[in-house]
Chains A and B, each alone.
Chain A
């Protein structure tokens, strides 16, 4: 048993942390190998395992980065599955920045795909697509004669319209409609659902690791404030009522870390086993992120309610965790169903 990171992963984490602190743009992140770390050697990268993903996203979350790495990794992974080797190369070097348009309006957390493609065109609506606005390629799920399939769509093409607003997590989300938009079918004629299942599992791991990093930062900020803010002539961190609350938070964050490790370690497992871990981890991280957001605000007092204090965007990012890739209840139900079946 060994819970330490490999030397390469530790080095990547360290250099990523340093670069993000200085404020890195997209090409610097690509140059550093952030995207390459999300792909296996066969796919043209140098990582792609659960722990590679966990390491990268914990650092992105820690820095509060809104660079659309998760979305590029998710869509890029599907491109790799579809043997779009040239495109994947461009994703890894940062020139192609794809996003995956999959969820549809009114579906809540179930992805029932109603969008349709025939020939070279696609019709339908996609909802809450994170980072679509900054993407220069959309990977889109739609039904065609073979069932669920994947398509590459240029976001600037005729018939594609985006309605974009800021996202609770930071960054942006878009509602997208395709009205006879030009689309290129990618990948095999069957099995798209299986590819999507795996890539969404990896993206859920990424989101959970990101939340873990964010929680670490929020914890540090709150501790710092408890040590320095004085009321009644002493640091508020000297009040036992607050000490215990903080101690509880730390316990829960460690639980969340273990949950992320569990999922990272089972990302390559059989689908049922993987799904069980996805749901357990997402449920725990969703709960913990919510707790950390609320408690950190309360422990700060009024200052945490202001937009000019740095906690606000991080608290929103933590709250947003539960609104993507299934919330606590959705994963609880799936976990129960999987456990009952096995």
Chain B
């Protein structure tokens, strides 16, 4: 047993650190640190910087313009980026659609779409969920009916993350209603500019607009936008899920969050002392830190197995649950740490105001971020669904 990185891994980590020190624009890091929602330009700027270095698509093969990192390198990169407060990489094109096209797409689709993902021409969003199809995704109802060289699409998608920035959406649609639900689904690429596509904002309980509803009314989609075969969509969706779940533990985000929490606990005073020295609060922080130390190793165990060629499996469900619990615990403590300042909630959700928070700089985001991050145990397969997978697949119950 050896808990340390190899010499090459350490050299790689140092290289990533140098890169982040030299190339990460401080104003972007500042925005990430203060939990300001990044603009489309902000994300695109960071993507371009990474792309120039050849690091935007760490998981893609070199043949497609990726870095072809192994699981350990990907982990190192993600962790260092999180610790440096780099903007997150928008996953929809890079981590979801890209791998799907490489596996199921035609040569023409690969040649057309993959470069556009790298150079930022296209911003993709994910059109899976529907109002009535959440956990039970296979029950989706949006239909695509063949009409000559086109599919005519009707239905509604929802929860479309950052759809307001996107020009493209990949959708699961129903192409056969006479078979069992999973067998009648297809994977379709849709241009958001097509007539009949209408996007409406959803405001979340922290006041942010990061998700949307997408209405599709008689949207004509060329048949060449079908990925894989007709009715192969479920297989593709399951394949995509395994990619969606990289970095699922979020160790880097948790580590950065814990460091921020400690800074706040040192700045806040309770009973004439720094809050960090209050025995109750110190115990709360210590507990989550211990959990994180153990989870980081669980994560590395899974990563080492993956690097050795094991298929990602039920471990990702474990990491999703533990990872979200720890991140939510850190956000919860951050909210507690700011004490009475959390009472001020100058959120657009409440009054359409853009008033600023009256407390210290760190106080404003604490409650909104806490609220926003309740989502992470709901999306990407809720924690209840993950427990079901563990019970069934891992434990055979």
User: Using a CB–CB distance below 8 Å, which chain A residues touch chain B?
Assistant: 103, 106-110, 127-128, 130, 163, 165-169, 173, 175, 230-233, 239, 241-242, 294, 297-298, 301-302, 304-308, 312, 315-316, 319-320, 322-324, 327, 329-330, 332-333
Contacts and interface: CB of A to CB of B under 8 A. Distances in A.
Given A175-B358, A302-B379, A329-B280, A166 B384 contact: no
Given A306-B205, A308-B202, A333-B280, A166 B345 contact: yes
Contact of A323 (B271, B339, B379, B384): B339
10 contacts: A108-B270, A165-B355, A298-B377, A298-B382, A302-B375, A306-B202, A306-B203, A307-B205, A312-B349, A323-B342
B343 A168 contact: yes
B343 to A, nearest CB: 5
Interface string B332-344: 0001100111111
B344 A327 contact: no
A127 B338 CA distance: 13
B136 to A, nearest CB: 4
Contact of A166 (B135, B341, B353): B353
Contacts of A103: 340
Given A305-B378, A316-B345, 13 more contacts: A128-B344, A173-B344, A175-B358, A232-B136, A242-B384, A304-B374, A305-B204, A306-B205, A312-B205, A316-B205, A319-B370, A323-B342, A324-B340
Nearest to A325: B340
B378 to A, nearest CB: 6
A310 B336 CA distance: 24
B371 interface: yes
A165 B357 CA distance: 8
A297 B384 CA distance: 13
Q: Quick one: which of A297, A307, A329 has the most chain B CB within 10 A?
A: A307
B280 A302 contact: no
B343 A327 contact: no
Nearest to B391: A241
Contacts of B375: 302, 305
A322 B336 contact: yes
Given A108-B268, A166-B351, A329-B281, A305 B135 contact: no
B202 A166 contact: no
A260 B143 CA distance: 53
B207 interface: yes
B344 A167 contact: yes
A135 B343 CA distance: 18
A306 B136 CA distance: 20
B378 A294 contact: no
B134 A231 contact: yes
A316 B336 CA distance: 14
B262 interface: no
A332 B280 contact: yes
A320 B343 contact: yes
A298 B271 contact: no
Contacts of A130: 343
Contacts of B351: 166
Contacts of A109: 270, 339-340
Contacts of B271: 108, 110
Contact of A168 (B268, B345, B378): B345
B13 interface: no
A324 B341 CA distance: 10
A108 B202 contact: no
A25 B355 CA distance: 26
Contacts of A307: 203-205, 207, 349
B278 interface: yes
Contacts of A128: 340-341, 343-344
B269 interface: yes
A304 B269 CA distance: 34
A297 to B, nearest CB: 5
A165 B358 contact: yes
Given A241-B387, A312-B205, A301 B135 contact: yes
Interface in B156-186: 158-159
A323 B136 contact: no
B347 interface: yes
B61 to A, nearest CB: 34
A163 B346 CA distance: 11
B197 interface: no
